[in-house]
Structure 1
Amino acid sequence: MSDASKSLSADVVIVGAGTAGGAAAVKLLAQGLSVLMLEAGGPLDQAELVSNYRAGAYKNNHMAPYPMQPWAPHPNFIPHDNGYLIQKGPAPYTAQYIRGVGGTTWHWAGQAWRLIPNDMRLQSLYGIATDWPISYEELEPFYLEAEREMGVSGGGPLAGGDYGSPRSAPYPMDVLPLSYGFERLRQRYDSLDLKVVPGPQARNSTVYDNRPACCGNNNCMPVCPIGAQYNGSMSVRRAQKLGLHLVPNAVVFKIETGADNQVQAVHFIDQHKQVHRVTGKHFLLTANAMETVKILLMSTDARNPNGVANATDQVGRNLMDHPASAAEYIADEPLYLGRGPMCPGSINNTRDGDFRGERSAIRIDVHNDNPTRYLTEKYVAQGYYGNELNDKIKHDAERFVLLKSMFEMLPDPENRIVLSGQKDAWGIPKMEVHYRFPEYVHKGYDVCRDLFEQAVRATGGTQAKYSDRGTYTNSQHITGTLRMGSDPNTSVCNKLAQAHDHKNLFFGGTGVMPTASTVNSTLTGVSLSLLAADSIIKAAA
């Protein structure tokens, strides 16, 4: 065996160099285990990404600054659908994600919510969906680890300290303060019992981890230009300093099992179409909840005819996200939104109650996007020009409000990902997505639409525009395709994040989540990846 071949082996092989993989690698390396990490895409340079965004024509496309490599394509829908995801369901699933070192947290909003305890007990409390096989109390230590790794600011009096998610230690940083406009909306919505709180953010409110405090650039999506907002490449770099062997441009297409049906190796194809084999003792899949499914389903053999970890046909099922509806309007006073984080606060007191047995829970983000470009394009199309156009943009941009709801999606085994007969340029199968919205979500929309209208009236709103019932945008929170459970007939992995079918195969990230709640799923996905790392450390002892 050559020296090069010997180097493609480690105690733990991680597939996926995003935040879930990076955080797990840091933990594993700190315990003395060797770690090799494979990433389909290449390294990403922050300065280059900022330059791409500055020069790009499509400012409303968060994927535009990110280079797409032929060996690691990603879905893109602006200016047109590039066909990477084959839509087969009655509802489109327009997920967009980055394949590169650091993953999709390069262009996320930075919201770092925990679940509340009731989110993990839907069957016991409300007679719907399923309970998690672990409790909130069991997950809480891993939440703390994730918040410290990512650098999360949060809490404070307006949030009641913990947002309804009990804590055993304070946040790493104090919460970012609400801006003037948010404070005014908070005061005016309060009469409706809609409580606006400054949300937990993986974004610095002070210097932390050698990163500066947020200075309010307001383009967190698609890229934070100063590094105040966390992204997964920061954890990967930290892991490299601890000895991580990172192999970029490595597209994993096969998981190899041995006679005992344990995982022996993974195979990848590089940018030159050369195939490599990587061996290890333990394997942790932390590619996103769609790409991991693709790898597992491609990995068929005599022992696993349906793919690795898929003896009961559960891989790829129970796909969830957070269907979103929106309301925009012009308030009756200047608010001057558009500086600071793009989603700094939310209406958070609509997340839980007995109603969850009948209709979706709701969380409403109060957005802080700078509306000038959007309004300019809108009013030019309507025929405004000259001074009249300038005056209207100035007046309305100062008063513009955007509210966006996130609805709870329940697990449905028919919402799923399967392999397509179509292949990409490197011969890797594309994915077919089967997706539909239940009446449970539509009933949540009906309640939310009423809340939107109340909010508009409470602030003297005009020019109100609402999303239609049944027409929802995707929130890019890919959840549930590898779900954790006690029964192998309805789940992919156990409470240790260990595959039911293979003792040395583990999963991290948002796909492990049995239910989706109403909050951004990244923090929970990282916490589950740290739980998986903990399971590997104990197995290796």
Structure 2
Amino acid sequence: MRRTPRVRLRSSHSQNMSSETNAPSSADVVVIGSGIIGSLVAHKLARQGASVLILESGPRVTREQIVAGFRNSPRKNDFMSPYPFSSWSPHPVYKPTKNDYIVQNGPYPYEPEYIRIVGGTTWHWAAQAWRILPNDLRLKTLYGVGRDWPMSYEELEPFYYEAEVKMGVSGAPDNGSPRSKPFPMQPVTESYLEQRFRERLAPAGIAVVTNTTARNSRTYDGRPACCGNNNCMPICPIDAQYHGGLAADAAEAAGVKLIPNAVVYRIEHDASGKIAAVHYYTPEKASHRVTAKTFVLAANGIESPRLLLMSASDKFRNGLANSSGTVGQNLMDHPSNGLTFDAEDEVWAGRGPMSPSSIQLMRDGAFRSEHAAFRVDISNSSQVLAVTQDLIAKGVYGPELGKQLRERAAHQVSLKNVLEILPDRRNRLYLSDKKDALGLPRPAVEYRMSDYVEKGMQASKAFYIKVAGLMGGTNLRHSPDGVYSNNQHITGTLSMGHDASDSVCDAWGRTHDHENLFLASTGVMPTAATVNSTLTGAALALRTAEQILKEAR
């Protein structure tokens, strides 16, 4: 068998250890951030012989600790409560009270829920692993709105498949995006709720699509098949669902060195503008310096631009990689609004995965020149808690409580849209004058909703009513008009593009201003499309890693 050649980027310094921390002080590649994207990049580079060091600002956790935290938490509808909060690596907290880590400067609040620990935010994700559509990369050309991507779908497609194999993605063939190879796995078995929706909507020509997810439908990569636990968020208790903690474990098994509790606070460049080192604090605020040949910034779309802005210098007064002035700008997420109603049939939400299926009809079309595209998710989350809280608030107790609870929990369902939002430089992140526990500036955001989103909301509201009617729905309760949640799909703040005057990095994730600094994050996505961003971010990052290896060869 012919062996794949192993690439050595540089190894003479890889064993140089800091006597103070007993941790590497240099490597071929330094990756900042151990989330699913950073860990996949590190794993790919290490497998080809590079010495790789990951610096992670947060602590290590185990699945057992998180499951116990969820079990013991009084707030079962708070997906952040099982996860540790560290003063040296703070993340946003909104329940039971807001910690105001992200400073809100309006006009609309933007409150993402991300986690700063080893493995990152995909510990508590829904595992939806959709590909974007080919037309999503040509929004400006086709519809006259948004931006075009600096690559084609065909260029990205092989890396989508590579990410799907690593993550263990299961899906149905009719999921909408072209593919050269079948999914690694068949879809997870349909829930009863999904079956009922499919049967009642099909005669009207509305297809219910089983969601594409990084969730095992059979034993895969040493992990078991999904057994139907209904708490995929905040944690899959058996690891049937892929997450960044597993990616970090695999990276370390491949030889990557990972330092937790290492808060990178400055990226250092030399006189030519090439990146020379990064500096990180320990929780006690001891400072350490790490050198490398290549640097990959793989924190999320909030923390990555924050670090670039914090690294401003005499040469780069507006922050690193920011000659275009767009670092932190074009902040996008997916605004969501919903409908709750009582279906005619008993559907018993709560059996099987929380987000098993969706309706894809409005992801693309000529209407995108006028209003936002959207996807409609059909929630399978148990309704018992919400119904119980509502009944108690109304003063219902005793036998009547049990009777009404059984009736309503069997019939109550909810729909949620996932709306596209366009890049807008006024939607931005920047440094506030408020500091965290280590004295570092906390992020501030300005955010707004556009008419494009509002028109899309009205279109989706009409679609909700049609679906509810087909389900024999009664007691329709819409979310308030103009009130949106977000989905933690942080994009746009590090936008890639061919033109260095209006983008942060090129099509390979290389920053326009620093030849050896690459960005691996959902933040590089120029537009948000209508699907969860993790798989696309992973595919783009694996493409970046391939380019780093190609240049090394």
Q: TM-score range by the shorter chain?
A: over 0.9
Which one-letter code corresponds to 1:140 in the other structure? E
Alpha-carbon distance in structure 1 between the residues aligned to 2:292 and 2:206: 52
Is residue 119 of structure 1 aligned with residue 131 of structure 2?
A: no
Quote the residue 1:345 is aligned against: 357
Match runs of 1:304-315 below 5 Å: 304-315=316-327
The alpha carbon displacement at 1:145 in A equals 0.9
After TM superposition, the structure 1 = structure 2 runs for residues 32-431 of structure 1, keeping only pairs within 5 Å, are: 32-156=49-173, 160=174, 163-431=175-443
Q: 1:16 aligns with which of 16, 33, 48?
A: 33
Counterpart of 2:528 (choices 516, 523, 533) is 516
SS at match of 1:394: helix
CA distance in 2, matches of 1:34, 1:483: 28
Note if 1:503 corresponds to 2:515.
yes
- Partner of 1:88: helix, strand, or coil? strand
Secondary structure in 2 matching 1:443? helix
Question: What residue is the counterpart of 1:460 in the other structure?
Answer: 472
1-side partners of 2:382 and 2:209: how far apart? 20
| Separation in 2, partners of 1:118, 1:522 | 19
Q: Deviations over 1:427-461 (max 9, x none)?
A: 11101111000000000011111111111221221
Partner of 1:437: 449
CA distance in 2, matches of 1:3, 1:473: 46
2:192–2:351 Cα contact (<8 Å) kept: no
Q: TM-score, normalising length from structure 2?
A: 0.96
TM-score normalized by the length of structure 1: 0.98
Per-residue deviation at 1:192? 3.7
* 1:485 aligned partner: 497
Deviation at 1:510, TM superposition (A): 0.4
Contact 1:510–1:521 (CA<8 Å) still a contact in 2? yes
> 1:7: Cα distance to partner?
2.2
Conserved? CA contact 2:46–2:251, under 8 Å: yes
Structure 1 unaligned residues grouped into runs of 5+ = none
Per-residue Cα deviation, 1:153-203 (whole angstroms, up to 9, x for no partner):
0124xxx2xx22111111111111222221111121224433211011100
- For 1:406-431, what per-residue CA distance to the aligned partner results, in whole angstroms no more than 9, with x for missing partners? 10000001100000000011111101
Residue 8 of structure 1, CA deviation: 1.5
One-letter amino acid matched to 1:23: L
CA distance in 1, matches of 2:244, 2:310: 26
AA partner of residue 214 (structure 1)? C
Matched with 1:25 is 42
Which deviates more, 513-522 or 181-190? Answer: 181-190
Q: CA deviation at 1:405?
A: 0.3
Give the partner amino acid of 2:180: S
Q: Distance in 2 between matches of 1:488 and 1:106?
A: 34
Contact 1:8–1:36 under 8 Å retained in 2: no
Q: Is the 8 A contact 1:177 1:198 kept in 2?
A: no
2-side partners of 1:3 and 1:80: how far apart? 42
Mapped partners of 1:323, 1:139: distance in 2: 26
Equivalent-residue separation in structure 2 for 1:3 and 1:30 (angstroms) = 22
| 1: CA distance, partners of 2:193 / 2:113 | 30
Contact 1:192–1:454 (8 Å) recurs in 2:
no
Distance between the aligned counterparts of 1:242 and 1:332, measured in 2?
A: 53
How far, CA to CA, are the matches of 1:234 and 1:7 in structure 2? Answer: 22
Name the Cα RMSD after superposition: 1.1
Distance 1:35 1:180 in 2: 46
**For each residue in 1:216-245, what CA deviation from the matched residue of structure 2 results, as whole angstroms up to 9, or x when unmatched?**
111011111100000111111111111101
Aligned to 2:18: 4
What is residue 5 of structure 2 aligned with on the other side?
none
Equivalence for 2:506:
494
Specify the SS of the correspondent of 2:106: coil
Task: Measure, in 1, the Cα distance between the counterparts of 2:134 and 2:516.
Answer: 29
Question: 1:7 corresponds to which letter in structure 2?
Answer: P
Q: Is the 8 A contact 1:360 1:440 kept in 2?
A: yes
Unaligned runs of 5+ in 2: 1-12
Task: Return the offset for 1:468.
Answer: 2.2
For residues 54 and 240 of structure 1, the distance between their equivalents in structure 2, rounded to whole angstroms, comes to 29
CA distance in 1, matches of 2:338, 2:201: 17
SS in structure 2 opposite 1:405?
strand
Deviates more, 1:450-459 or 1:476-485: 450-459
Secondary structure, counterpart of 1:349 in structure 2: coil
